[in-house]
């Protein structure tokens, strides 16, 4: 068993939300998942996970606060709990930790908040317990927890294949300004995928490929072209389950957005703006429209899960 240092009393990790600039969904695999190609893009809407030493023999204590936290479990079916457990078992350390999650990423909004929190828990507990796992080992644990967890570790912009867990960093230029229209009620990712399958029934589904027009636009830093090239195969299914999303998208575009898309499985709608001034104008217009519960303004790309504070004077760096 690893010797766990008592020097570090608490570690705080900040982790970003994501938007899928492309989400192409292939046919259903024999393992029950879909083969996908996703262009992930991290944005500076952050959750924080704080890991602190627990009383020996006490196990995990998990507390959630912030956006939608009242709907989340504080027990073993929470991804944060599962992440800490997986890491402790992998590294053979005592699982005594107090975890606190401060949420700003919308709940069940297609922005991977749960996956982000799991990634943050891995980094926080790795630092708290002084395990010192490398990036490759953390990636393996992350992929076991969920398809989006690996990206949340890395951040930036990346192409995801397989279930989304196999990542290739993407070459991009510039900064991108986003407006997110948040719904007051989330959508279940499995339900959206099931609806996608239902709508496609009887049709041949092609294997997904990377959208070269999108990648070329990102390399150039051409936000107008990026807005035109964004695509999401789950969008039709999300709108089928939540028809008002179509009106939200039309409204954002009518206010001058360069592009609009349902983020992931939804129901959050993401709008790309030309610059900060236009983003603030779109945000104000959407807020006044009454069609969403809240509006977020963000920029990307953003860094992945990163230690931002620790309860010791020593230096603790998150894995790179």
Residues designated as active site: 18, 148
More confident residue, 301 or 188: 301
Closest CA to 116 of 38, 46, 177: 46
pLDDT band at 179, cuts 50/70/90? very high
Residue 312's pLDDT is 59
Query: In this predicted model, what pLDDT tens digit does every residue of 7-61 receive, in sequence order?
Result: 448 999 999 999 999 999 998 888 888 899 999 999 999 999 999 998 888 899 9
Angle (CA) 312-315-317 rounded to 5° is 120
| Domain count along the chain | 2
- Residue 165, pLDDT > 90, answer no
Q: Which of 141, 170, 199 is the last residue of a domain?
A: 170
Query: In this predicted model, what pLDDT tens digit does every residue of 99-124 receive, in sequence order?
Result: 999 999 988 788 999 999 999 999 99
Q: Are 320 and 139 in contact (CB under 8 A)?
A: no
Same domain, 159 and 262: no
Same domain, 192 and 74: no
Identify each DSSP E strand in the chain by its residue range: 10-28, 34-53, 60-66, 97-103, 157-161, 166-169, 176-182, 231-232, 259-262, 269-273, 294-300, 306-310
CATH of the domain at 77: 3.30.230.10
Same domain, 76 and 219: no
Residue 14's pLDDT is 98
CATH of the domain at 258: 3.30.70.890
Same domain, 266 and 224: yes
Q: What percent of the chain has pLDDT over 70?
A: 95
Same domain, 180 and 273: yes
Report residue 162 as tokens. 């397989």
Angle between helices 244-254 and 276-289 (to 10 degrees): 140
* Burial degree of 29 (CB within 10 A; 0-12, 13-18, 19+): exposed
Q: Which of 144, 170, 196 is the last residue of a domain?
A: 170
Q: Residue 147 contacts by C-beta under 8 Å, 6 or more apart in sequence?
A: 33, 36, 115, 160, 162, 163, 164, 165
Q: Which of 146, 170, 194 is the last residue of a domain?
A: 170
Q: How far is 195 from 216, CA to CA, in rounded Å?
A: 31
Inside any domain, residue 58: yes
pLDDT band at 317, cuts 50/70/90? very low
Residue 90's pLDDT is 96
Identify each DSSP E strand in 171-251 by its residue range: 176-182, 231-232
Q: How far is 214 from 204, CA to CA, in rounded Å?
A: 24
Query: In this predicted model, what pLDDT tens digit does every residue of 218-247 receive, in sequence order?
Result: 999 999 999 999 999 999 999 999 999 999
The SS3 call for residue 106 is coil
Give how far the C-alpha of residue 226 lies from the chain's centroid of Cα atoms, to the nearest Å: 20
Same domain, 146 and 263: no
Residue 188: which domain range?
176-300
Q: How far is 31 from 190, CA to CA, in rounded Å?
A: 14
Residue 121's pLDDT is 98
């Amino acid at each position: 068993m690893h010797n766990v240092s008592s020097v570090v009393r608490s570690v705080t990790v900040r982790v970003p939300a994501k938007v899928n600039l492309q989400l192409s969904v292939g046919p259903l695999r024999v393992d029950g998942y879909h083969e996908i190609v996703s262009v992930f893009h991290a944005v500076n809407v952050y959750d924080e996970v704080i890991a602190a030493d627990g009383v020996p023999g006490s196990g995990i204590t998990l507390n959630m606060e912030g956006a939608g936290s009242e709907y989340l479990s504080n027990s073993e079916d929470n991804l944060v709990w599962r992440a800490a457990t997986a890491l402790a078992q992998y590294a053979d350390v005592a699982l005594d930790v107090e975890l606190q999650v401060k949420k700003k990423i919308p709940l069940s909004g297609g922005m991977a908040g749960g996956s982000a929190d799991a990634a943050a828990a891995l980094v926080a507990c790795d630092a708290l317990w002084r395990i010192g796992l490398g990036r490759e080992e953390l990636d393996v644990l992350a992929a076991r927890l969920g398809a989006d967890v690996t990206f949340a570790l890395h951040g930036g912009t990346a192409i995801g294949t397989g279930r989304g867990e196999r990542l290739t960093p993407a070459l991009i230029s510039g900064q991108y300004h986003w407006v997110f229209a948040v719904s007051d009620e989330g959508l279940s990712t499995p339900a959206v995928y099931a609806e996608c399958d239902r709508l496609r029934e009887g049709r041949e589904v092609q294997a997904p490929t990377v959208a070269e027009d999108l990648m070329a636009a990102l390399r150039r830093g051409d936000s107008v072209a990026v807005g035109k090239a964004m695509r999401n195969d789950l969008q039709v299914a999300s709108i089928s389950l939540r028809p008002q999303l179509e009106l939200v998208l039309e409204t954002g575009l009518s206010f001058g957005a360069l592009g609009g898309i349902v983020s992931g499985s939804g129901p959050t709608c993401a709008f790309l703006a030309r610059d900060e001034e236009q983003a603030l104008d779109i945000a104000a217009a959407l807020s006044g429209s009454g069609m969403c519960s809240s509006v977020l303004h963000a920029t990307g790309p953003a860094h992945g899960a990163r230690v931002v504070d620790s309860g010791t004077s020593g230096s603790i760096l998150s894995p790179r």
